[in-house]
Structure 1
Amino acid sequence: MDNDFAQPQTRRARGRLDPTVGKARSVVGELLGLKTTGKNRLVENPPLILVGCSGGPDSLALAAVCAFFASRGEVRVGAVVVDHQMQEGSAEVAQATAVQLRELGLDPVVVRTVDLNHDGVGPEAAARAARFGALEATALELGAESVLLGHTLDDQAESVLLGLARGSGTRSLAGMRVRRGIYLRPFLSLRRHETLAICDALGLVPWHDPSNQDPAYLRVRVRNNVIPYLGAELGPGIAESLARSANILGHDADYLDELAGLEYEKMALRGAASQGGNDAGNSAENGADSQEVPEICLSEDGLRGLAPALRMRVLALAVVELGGVQPSLERLASAEKLLERKGSAGPVQLAGKVSAWRISRNQAVPHEGPSYGKLVLRRSR
């Protein structure tokens, strides 16, 4: 395998703090509620945080900054290195990354090897799903309080443009959030060149993933071609403007998601729709063993009474709870048409093997039963 690690650099003599390192410490410390100056404050049984680290400049710089806080005794810092097995020699890269992380003082450092389940999605989506699965499992096993990820402002700008190109909605255009569940992204205010500067200042040896320069990937073309072009035509600061838009949309999306979650919990009836079945009524999975297939029923009247932005989100929440993936706008719109009670009663295929249909008013089921007047969503085996 070609060695994609940069050549080791001589560590700088201890002296004035590099300003970029200082900036990175400030954003991490603010997010974690930790001080960057003053006396060390030793804490009994400090909480454990994990850094998801690929060995690239962004995540390696984040690991080094977090190691500073670990040295102050207020928090324990470990790391998770995920080997996706997508490239020849990936195991060696993962082990070399683990060595550097241990040298920085991170403990524990866990290397997780994952198998990708494409299941109808592309390699990037499959890798992402496997990576987050490994991160979440490790955090649970170790009792970690949070998992820090090294995404930068440049990553955020790329995500916004990709969302625009795909015709995505508010949540996608909002990009990545600084805080979502156990995941924290303190570097969303830093540029990619700043993480490279941190690695240089601290004498780190980052791995440069060759796929990050492969034009076969849409994100790479956006990074190397589209954003530079927009910068040349619209003026400097395009990445910052895109990231700022994501931040504004993120607040809107968070609020709508919260409202949708409340509405979903009010109307979701979980379990098999034991009375009645699919109007289409022609598939084996609607037969005798349908009781064993997880289903969620949603009130048609309740859905009709919601604003479109909330209605779409409620439908998507049911799909995700059944183990599917976030449906496209087109698929959600098809499910929404079932509420008009015109034409076909379904099923409408959503995403991740989840389908939806409505119970016909002329079907012989009790009108007060669990399915009547409801959309039924089911995931096939």
Structure 2
Amino acid sequence: MARRALGPALLAVVQAVDAALTPADARLLVACSGGADSLALAAAARHVAARRGLPCAAAVVDHGLQAGSDAVAARTAAVLAGLGLADVVVLRVAVPAAGGPEAAARDARYAALRAAAAGDPPATVLLGHTRDDQAETVLLGLARGSGTRSLAGMAVRGAGLLRPLLEVPRATTEQVCVELGLQPWSDPHNVDPRFARVRVRHRVLPVLEDALGPGVAQALARTARLARDDADLLDALAAEADPGLGAPTCDALAALPAALRGRVLRRWLAREGAGDVGADHVRAVEALVLAWRGQRGVDLPGGTVARSGGRLLWQAVGRG
């Protein structure tokens, strides 16, 4: 496709993909569900890869969670081949019953994509999350009250994954499909109100747009960028302040600013093997540092934190 042949929506997505790539991205693997976002991403990635001389493949993940999912995956693979992607693979995964279905499906999907991307050099996995997805993620993080890192939303790049469309609105990816004459697949889960993200998408964001005016999604995505910059800096400072292995001293912890102290405690607890540590857990451990009155230890997922001799001590469950 020559540049002059690109429609305005596809051109916008092509430019986003092109801007996100670096010389380290030697091979591309586009994750495609068959929805508008990932189809638009695949079309743009194929164009950019051809111009740059990069190998570009695509992967369709079949979670097996819905009747006929294999047929949807096969149809998506055929559409991708029609877009000019010669190397298309269907990855079938087993989603464990334990945990939330969204998180379990995501973990299984990412594991399969990373395995498919393995090689020398490994492929960069491109994901089709848009600005609207980022806005939804920020609102969900705000509702959890999980702090700056949660408000930071999804990273553009990390752990072999690249999200080049986080500044592109969903309406643009939908228009790409119109320009190319594609019929994107509509995942029934995307309209199922049992899922919090669906309620945010179809109920919360429209109310905010109606009450506050247009541009809410863009503002939330901008908030994510700013929050991520702040969170990255604080995490780097916390790594410098982290005393490393051993039992941390309460005096050293008390001397840290609150934003760093909480992060240092999280790093220490993760090293000791604590499970899913939330903000309330961290505050309870901080009380052992800042408001010590001889109180008993704090129970956390996987163990207990106690104070002894001016230090915090971790005792794992089942150890005496």
Smaller-chain TM-score bracket: 0.7 to 0.9
Cα offset, 1:118, TM superposition: 5.1
SS at match of 2:78: helix
Question: CA separation in 1, counterparts of 2:107 and 2:318?
Answer: 20
Counterpart in the other structure of 1:281: none
Q: Does 1:26 align with 2:15?
A: yes
Q: Answer yes or no: is the 8 Å Cα contact 1:298–1:374 preserved in 2.
A: yes
Classify 1:62/1:349 alpha carbon distance in 2 versus 1 (closer, same or farther; 3 Å): same
Letter in 2 for 1:253: A
SS at match of 1:110: strand
Q: Distance in 2 between matches of 1:345 and 1:250?
A: 36
Do residues 88 (structure 1) and 60 (structure 2) align?
no
Aligned to 1:53: 32
Task: Map 1:1-381 to 2 at 5 A.
Answer: 16-33=5-22, 47-106=26-85, 108-117=87-96, 119=98, 121-141=99-119, 143-264=121-242, 266-269=243-246, 297-320=247-270, 327-339=277-289, 340-350=291-301, 354-358=302-306, 360-361=308-309, 373-376=311-314, 378=316
Aligned with 2:65: secondary structure? coil
* TM-score where L is the length of structure 1: 0.74
Moved more, 74-83 or 297-306: 297-306
Moved more, 130-139 or 334-343: 334-343
Q: C-alpha displacement at 1:343, in angstroms?
A: 4.5
**Cα gap change, 1:302 to 1:379, in 2 (>3 Å):** farther
Unpaired stretches in structure 1, ≥5 consecutive residues: 1-11, 35-45, 270-296, 362-371
Instruction: Confirm or deny: 8 A CA contact 1:298 1:376 kept in the other structure.
Output: no
RMSD: 2.8
- Give distance in 1, aligned partners of 2:273 and 2:18: 36
Instruction: Report deviation, 1:217.
Output: 1.3
Change in Cα spacing, 1:357 to 1:326, as seen in structure 2 (3 Å) is closer
Distance 1:299 1:61, change over 3 A: farther
The question of whether the paired residues in 1 share the 8 Å contact of 2:57 and 2:88 is answered with yes
Query: What is the alpha-carbon distance in structure 1 between the residues aligned to residue 270 and residue 70 of structure 2?
Result: 32
Q: For 1:250, what is the secondary structure of its paired residue?
A: helix
Amino acid at match of 2:281: R
One-letter code of the match for 2:311? G
More displaced, 64-73 or 140-149?
140-149
TM-score (structure 2 length as normaliser): 0.87
Once the two structures are TM-superposed, the CA of residue 320 in structure 1 deviates from its matched residue by 4.6
Whole-Å separation in 2 of the counterparts to 1:60 and 1:309:
41
Q: Cα distance 1:323–1:357, how it changes in 2: closer, same or farther (>3 A)?
A: closer
Distance 1:123 1:331 in 2: 25
Change in 2 beyond 3 A, CA 1:216/1:355:
same
Whether contact under 8 Å (2:17, 2:48) holds in the other structure is no
- What is the aligned length? 316
Q: Distance in 1 between matches of 2:41 and 2:273?
A: 32
Q: Taking structure 1 as reference, are residues 200 and 309 closer, same or farther at Cα in structure 2, changes over 3 Å only?
A: same
Q: Flag the 1:94–1:317 CA change in 2: closer, same or farther, 3 A.
A: farther
Percent identity, aligned pairs only? Answer: 45
Unaligned runs of 5+ in 2: none
Higher alpha-carbon Rg: 1
CA contact (8 A) 1:267 1:302 kept: no
Q: Counterpart amino acid of 1:134?
A: A
Whether contact under 8 Å (2:272, 2:314) holds in the other structure is no
Q: Distance in 1 between matches of 2:105 and 2:176?
A: 27
CA distance in 1, matches of 2:5, 2:85: 24
CA distance in 1 between partners of 2:15 and 2:227 (Å): 25
Deviates more, 1:98-107 or 1:210-219: 98-107
Q: CA deviation at 1:116?
A: 2.7
Listed one character per residue, the Cα deviations across residues 127-149 of structure 1 (whole Å, up to 9, x for unaligned) are 22222222223323564242211
132 and 96 in structure 1: CA distance in 2 versus 1, 3 angstrom threshold: same
Q: Distance in 2 between matches of 1:117 and 1:359?
A: 38
